Structure 1
Amino acid sequence: MTTNHPAVDVGTARRAGLTTRWPWMLLAAGVLGFLGSLLHPMGDPTLTGDAALAAEVGDPLWVPSHVLILAFTVLLVPGLLGLARSGALSGRARTAALVAMGAAVLWVVESVPHLLAVTDHHALLTGQPAPLVTTHLVGASIVYPLAGFSIAALALLGGRRLAHPVLNALGALGSVAFGIAPIAYDVLGITEAGDLFAGSLLLTAWIAVVGATALVRKRSAAS
């Protein structure tokens, strides 16, 4: 006699789906995040303070860039959770994946005012309060280090179970640079540190590589 428990069955099905689909989620997340980072408006080195911020948020590429980045963070959460549950990682590597997933949740939250900061463009130009820009800057100084350092730890601890060691090293390097960027640039005011934000390109590319590598390995195992 078989007894069905709908709640248990649905929960099991969801976990099974997450376990099998996480490579696609990471691949899609990485591609979207890379494109979003690539499109991100470049700061004008001749401007400072509110004028520099106004130039960035007023750029036509601000919205499409940050829509892609928001989509990246939304997909990153289940992708990392699925990776942690897949059995591909154990010990400290699995812990790093779970910590990175938690940081990704915060990144989703931070990405919303980051995207909507475009509405503060006029306020920045006229010297008025810009609450969404302020929320983004404060959030980034907390979230980016958490995300960057935890993803770097995952890249180093995961080893060949995730990707080639050289690619892992590049992913970790980009993640650390991205994590340091808001502290050095926004908090400490080191203008040259703005280039560290480009670490997001390596971070997102590595996320895509992890997803693609897992898909190739699954296909090879099935054949």
Structure 2
Amino acid sequence: MTSASLQSRTPTRHFRTDRAGAAFLVLGGIAFFLGGGLHPKDSGSGDKLAQLHDMLVSSMWYPSHAVLLAAMALIAAGIIAIRRPGHLEPGMARLAGIVAGISVLATFAMLVHFFAATEASAIADGDSTFVIEVHTWNETIVNPLWGVAIAALALTGGLTRTVGNRIVMALGVVGGLSFALATATIAYTDAFDPLFPVSSLLGVWAVAVGVIGLVRHA
């Protein structure tokens, strides 16, 4: 096999990988935006457990969280794809690898969160179960970690123009940090709940990064 034939094959391999990662990000971003819009709202009355119960018994709990679960899985897949060797410089690849790992963890946490509605009766009775405990850890630890990780990827990727650019960078930073702060405090206070709609910018960032990736490799 000649060096010329090797060179002719290499761009094609990278092209397909980049397109796959970009497409995953576009689909994941759309799903994240839609899932947030479908998420049930609480009544705004009672303590935090009562408000959680309001959401768990909503008919929109499962549809919204199915979409959000798909969103996190697709975004994780997109980040895994774009961090493969040859697509990013070493430092950026390491960061993307860390964010990919956190994204996979957040996806599994969202799967447990999806089934939290099965414990609605226990919450109504004031009881605690394993699923409820994991749900709390997910909300206050894993989700904030994921939001900060996405913000870091958006900032670094935007400044280096390797993941998105400096124009869309702000979408990921603001959306990621808003999601992190809103989820970290939801179990304790309503003060930062208005940040949840703002966190939908994370989905817009993912779509923008994906579209940029598709255009660059068209």
TM-score interval (norm. to shorter): 0.7 to 0.9
Question: Equivalent residue for 1:174?
Answer: 175
Q: How many residues align?
A: 206
Structure 1, gaps ≥5 residues long? 2-13
Q: What is the alpha-carbon distance in structure 1 between the residues aligned to residue 85 and residue 63 of structure 2?
A: 33
1:19–1:86 Cα contact (<8 Å) kept: no
Residues 33, 68 of structure 1: 8 Å contact kept: yes
Structure 2, unaligned runs of 5 or more: 2-12
In structure 2, the residue matched to 1:33 is 32
Which residue pairs with 1:136 in the alignment?
135
Identity rate of aligned residues, in percent?
31
C-alpha separation in 2, matches of 1:36 and 1:73: 10
Q: What amino acid does structure 2 have at the position aligned with 1:39?
A: L
Cα deviation 1:20-67 (Å, max 9, x = unaligned)? 411111111111111111111122222323211110111111100000
- The 1:174/1:20 distance shift into structure 2, 3 A limit, reads closer
CA drift at 1:122: 1.5
Closer, same or farther in 2 for the Cα pair 1:37/1:88, shift >3 Å? Answer: same
Calculate the TM-score normalised by the size of structure 1: 0.83
2:210 partner amino acid: G
For 2:196, the equivalent position in structure 1 comes to: 197
Aligned-residue offset at 1:105 = 0.8
Q: CA deviation at 1:192?
A: 0.8
Q: Secondary structure at the match of 1:161?
A: coil
1:155 CA displacement: 0.7
CA contact (8 A) 2:56 2:116 kept: yes
By percentage of residues, which structure has more helix? Answer: 1
- Distance, in Å, in 1 between the alignment partners of 2:86 and 2:145 is 24
Q: TM-score when scaled to structure 2?
A: 0.85
The 1-side partners of 2:198 and 2:96 are apart by: 19
Aligned CA RMSD, in angstroms, stands at 2.3
2:211 equivalent in structure 1 = 212
**Which one is further off, 52-61 or 199-208?**
199-208
